[in-house]
Amino acid sequence: MQKEKKIPSSFIYFFGSFGGILFGYDIGVMTGALPFLQTDWALQNNAGIIGWITSSVMLGAIFGGALAGQLSDKLGRRKMILISAVIFVVGSVLSGVSPHNGSLYLIIVRVLLGTAVGAASALVPAYMSEMAPAKLRGQLSGLNQTMIVSGMLLSYIVDFLLKDLPEAWAWRLMLGLAAVPAVILYFGVAKLPESPRFLVKNGHFSEARKVLTYIRNDESEIDQELADIKDTANAEAQAAKSTSWGTLFTGKYRYLVIAGIGVAAFQQFQGANAIFYYIPLIVEKATGSAASSALMWPIIQGVILVVGSLLYIAIADRFNRKTLIMLGGTVMGLSFLLPAIINWINPNTNPMMIVVFLCIYVAFYSFTWAPLTWVIVGEIFPLAIRGRASGMASSFNWIGSFLVGLLFPIMTAAMSQEAVFAIFGIICILGVAFTKFCVPETRGRSLEEIEEEGTRDKSKVAVKPEID
């Protein structure tokens, strides 16, 4: 019998990572496209439309992530990634051929595109973690974050290279070129097998074993890994039967659910995406120069994000999760609050000061809140509620991303940028306080130990005297 040909792990991780690059590209590309679109369609004084066009991808992602989780359990991780890649291609091309002044058309198309963004953000890490050996899963969260920010940096570079084209062509090409990495992703993933975990959950045990022989070198460990996958699948099936949505906020789980969802929500409401989507417009408002001439700033932010994500991979297991996230949140909050304070004391301060502080914000965000949010969400939920609670945390994160993208241009049209960022700064400080008092430390602890802390918290609440 001819031995099955192994699929190189590097091939699997490359195309798993490529999903992150595609996700990041589509999130970042509007940063450079927006100044040209704004001029081409004369939207300079229409903050509401600008906000809707920018945030519509996140609106679609709210639904895409939820649908992908449900459908991937029926159709498979691999097939859903392929469907997402097709939607990426179609949505990107349709965005690039938008009719002139077709704001409603572009919003609808970007909502469609957002369903693929949300699906990719949920499916690609799940597929990679299910294909990787256990010893590598801890590194995949940091790797996925690196690929996402690399995709953002790639989009910023493409935007910069196209900036000298006529404005009507520039933004269309920027948006349309997102189809290229989507096509590469499709043909790459088409050569990959389905994940063994999905195959086991659907009773295809022999096929699951065959896939494991493709991607594991040690034959003696394949049967043990297959048995472990079966045990986990059975435990999750039992957990799904014994829990409901109401279970999330009752008993010992409530403390952990609030902690996980709270961290996911704070990550977005702290205002990071306001910088990533609108940095050229922020520079324009601060200096008076045209936003289309400020496209080097997104590249600087992108480089900071990539370097920060690599720094996180290097230090992730050396510091407690809470220590890093509280350090990051404190510096991020000060980076937003200090420009408002300095400008209040000395109104003649160089307006580029705010951009310098934004770079400091991005630097600390990149190795703290950006990756650690999803590490904590992945570690904090017990098996019985993990699926539902993780889905709800992801939804709250996308809702925050959508609202920040929608409201930021409206807020800056109504008040100074320093005041808007000061509001985000206060939210950052509240996020630090929330982490300190409401989030358990998860580094180096088992799920059982984390769950026990939730039980202790419940008992504390039970004996707490009521205030008349």
Residue intervals in the chain for CATH 1.20.1250.20: 1-192, 246-459
pLDDT confidence of residue 327: 96
To the nearest whole number, what is the mean pLDDT of the chain?
Answer: 84
CA–CA distance from 258 to each of 2, 244, 304 (Å)? 53, 16, 31
Q: Which residues of the chain have pLDDT under 70?
A: 1-7, 9, 16, 129, 132-142, 239-245, 291-292, 383, 444-468
Neighbouring C-beta atoms of residue 131, cutoff 10 Å? 26
3-state helix, strand, coil in the chain (%, to 5): 80, 0, 20
pLDDT confidence of residue 467: 39
Q: Find the largest Cα–Cα distance for the chain.
A: 80
What's the predicted TM-score (pTM) here?
0.84
CA–CA distance from 195 to each of 17, 59, 190, 206 (Å)? 16, 29, 13, 13
Q: What letters, b where the CB count within 10 A reaches 16 and e where it falls short, cover 281-302? A: bbbbbbeeeebbebbebbbbbb
pLDDT confidence of residue 40: 94
Contact status, residue 333 vs residue 271, Cβ threshold 8 Å: no
Contact status, residue 259 vs residue 440, Cβ threshold 8 Å: yes
CA 352 to chain centre: 28
Look up residue 389 and give its amino acid. A
Minimal CA–CA distance to 361: which of 276, 259, 266, 277?
A: 276
Q: Which fold has domain 1-192?
A: Growth Hormone; Chain: A; (1.20.1250)
Q: Could you tell me which CATH class the domain 246-459 is placed in?
A: mainly alpha
Minimal CA–CA distance to 427: which of 249, 269, 287, 275?
A: 269
pLDDT confidence of residue 462: 37
Q: Tell me the per-residue pLDDT of 114-135, one tens digit each, with 9 for 90 and over.
A: 999 888 877 877 777 677 666 6
